[in-house]
Structure 1
Amino acid sequence: MVPGRLLASVEGQDWLGDWIYAHRGLHGAGICENSPAAFAAAIAAGLGIECDVQLSRDGQAMVFHDWTLERLTAETGALRERDAADLARIELHSGERIPTLPDFLAFVGGRVPVLIEVKSKRHMAWKPLARAVVAALRGYRGAAAVMSFDPRIVRWLEKRLPNRPRGLVTGRGERRRLAFGIERAVAVAHARPTFLACDIRDLPDPWLARQRARVPLLTWTVRTPALMARARLHADAPIAEGAGLS
């Protein structure tokens, strides 16, 4: 396979490489991740925002990272087993409420660009959440990109969000390098992303360097100054938090 043919393109995504993105907003020191306060802090600092979305029981896209509620709230259980109205009453540990994606976009209002990561699991129905994300972005005029580890979602969005950047998120983790390389190439071939977002621990990587010549390469999660230096050398934009933003 020719690497250039695995990738798609979209007009107007040059802004992707012009920003540093606050991972789940600018959180810490009593400010919860993916909270309105974290998003306000990122905007005030002149940072782009990366956030996560998953589906409520009644089909709403909620801005929340974990599959379960206990780490960030006093509640327990799976987020997807609660309706949006129920989730809206649950306080984060910082005292704020879990926002919906439309509320998040209305709050940002195009002031900074946003990266929306669509969460999924292999055996979980993903189209309801993908549809909710498309609906939320309909009419939004700010700079926004959608990304996912799931190549099915990225490919499905090609026709539904043809004018938005669509990214495939990748990370080797504990997998062997050769097996991961094959898996990644297959995922990219299926997803046809317009940009890539890789684990900072996978850089430098010759394969990613070749893709970077064709599409923007973002990298996560940049948590230290040393990792920020690596990101600046081997990627177009960092998704960072904590000391990585200092």
Structure 2
Amino acid sequence: MFSTQVLLGRTAGGLYIPSPETRTAYVSRFSMEPNAVAFLESIAADCVSRNMYLLGRVDFEAFQSRTMVVGLNELPDFSFTAGSLTPGTIQPGGSTNLTFDVHTRCPAATTSTVGLYLMDANYQVLSVIGGVGIPSGGGTSRFPPTAISFSASIPPGSYYVALFADANEVIYESNENNNVGVIPLQITSALAATEAAPQELVPDVTLPSEVAGGARNPPPGDYVQRLAPQEALSVETH
């Protein structure tokens, strides 16, 4: 993959002898062949360490080898990178289209679920909207625009559609504090809801512990029509 030389000292007679000091050779990606750089980048993308060997010899003597570990064993880390509600303002009994992207650079060993909830302006859980299955592996999972319908009995006001990555807590992550994203939703009169603009997702929202816990056991609200189980599309990007 990569080779370099360390120049030793030379006596008056012409023999090369080791220096009494430690000699150092620096390795940089800028001095490597492209295939070596690509291989090291693949190790970083896999998030798994590998054993590699460092070989060295003086003049034409036999090679000496040492084992070294390259890369890190990293856990997955889910976070939302995009999302929206279109429109972001609806009337009671209306519907809006939800879409989102959830990403983890390091792969997850098993499938997981993004939980969808309706919250009030104080982040109190009102209703379960549904769950979206996320495949194992790494990259971005994309949930295509999907209609969510609300009850005609929902009071006008400010709400959030909250998204919880790994809602069932089946995956150990390197950061468990960035799993929540919210999208504002306004419920208002039919006139104000006409031609309303989309609302964008706000990522990495920190909720009070009692609110986060309430999403695990939400009340049986009836403000929203519950979605049938959905599956996100896996988009292999890192």
Q: Which band: TM-score by shorter chain?
A: under 0.3
Bigger proportion of residues as helix: 1
User: Which has the larger strand fraction?
Assistant: 2
TM-score after normalising by structure 1: 0.24
TM score, norm. by length of structure 2: 0.25
| Larger-gyration structure (1/2) | 2
